[in-house]
Amino acid sequence: MSYSLGQLAEKVGGLVKGDKQLVIEKLGTLAKGTKNELSFLANPKYQSQLANTQAGAVLVKTEELAATLDNAIIVANPYLAFAQLTHLFVPQTESWQGVHPSAVIADNVTLGSNVVIGPNAVIDAGVIIGDDCVIGANSVVSCGCTLGQGTRLYPNVTFYHDVHVGAECIFHSGCIVGSDGFGFAPNNGEWEKIDQLGGVVIGDRVEIGSNTSIDRGAIENTQIGSGVKIDNQVQIAHNVVIGDNTAIAANAAIAGSAKIGAFCTISGCVGIVGHITITDHVHITAMSMVSKSIPEAGSYSSGMGMEPTSRWRRSVARFRRIDSMAKQITTLEKKINKLSEKVDV
């Protein structure tokens, strides 16, 4: 697939500097781009690469930057423009159309038009699959699930029963939606399982990374809002509610019944305890532990940033002495207060 530079500029609302007829066959980087590739400059620290790039054209923000290039597209947000253009160069990932002969589909399944179902996929009773959906090889969609128009399951995705998904969602390989929440009641030194009776409800345009798990609700549903983006290997526990357009990076873990607002960003390896509420527009930095509700928008951090090992060891040693130091300070304060009283007298 190929496009002229002018066609690409039109799709992102940009202005061409140079040859509008230049053929672009793929996207590339500044460092390794070739004459038929389009690259982009979004981060100023890579600006020095413009002088030596072999890319045929570059997405840039200003006319001044474009002036250093033979061919460019000037656009307000090069990174966003790059993201929009990636949709044009996605390769075809299925070598078949329609339902593969090896797929197992229950009698009372409802299939929309232009649905693709891959080899060895299993579609259970009562499932409703909307138009233009793709179910990858070896994926399982259990009874009572619904998938909105244009939703894609890559190979080896598993939906337990009663998972309801909106339109244009993406589920990457290995993710599991609707597994049982971690619910057990103590019983004379043993654990009595609490059957999870809720489901999972997911909005439109949600993307779930590979090997991420989203548990079903214990009684009510686990809820994922529209536009949410969840990275690989994230744990979403039962009855969690996530607001629209929140993004969650890899290895984050969210405990049961936590409520996260809209337009939040949860960085990698963040832990969030259960039964708390995080308001809208909160950013939590990497490896933070969120142990109480966050009622105000803003950026929040915990944990210790990296430093040389020798310095880190000294810091840890001091940290371990904080309790005794606090007691010493309290004692000193009392002595100072007594001395002050004597001086005042």
Known catalytic residues? 238
The DSSP-derived string for 102-169 is T-EE-TT-EE-TT-EE-TT-EE-TT-EE-TT-EE-TT-EE-TT-EE-TT-EE-TT-EE-SSEEE-SS-
What region does 254 belong to: left with phi over 0, alpha with psi -120 to 50, or beta?
beta
Tokens 């996530």 found at: 242
Question: 94 Cβ partners below 8 Å, 6+ apart?
Answer: 116, 118, 134
Question: 193: part of which helix (H) or strand (E)?
Answer: strand 190-193
The one-letter amino acid code at 332 reads L
Residue 236, both tokens: 């979403």
Assess contact for 256 and 274: CB atoms under 8 A: yes
CA distances from 227 to 118, 127, 144, 170, 241 (A): 26, 23, 23, 11, 14
CB atoms within 10 A of CB 322: 9
Whole-angstrom Cα distance, residue 314 to residue 55? Answer: 49
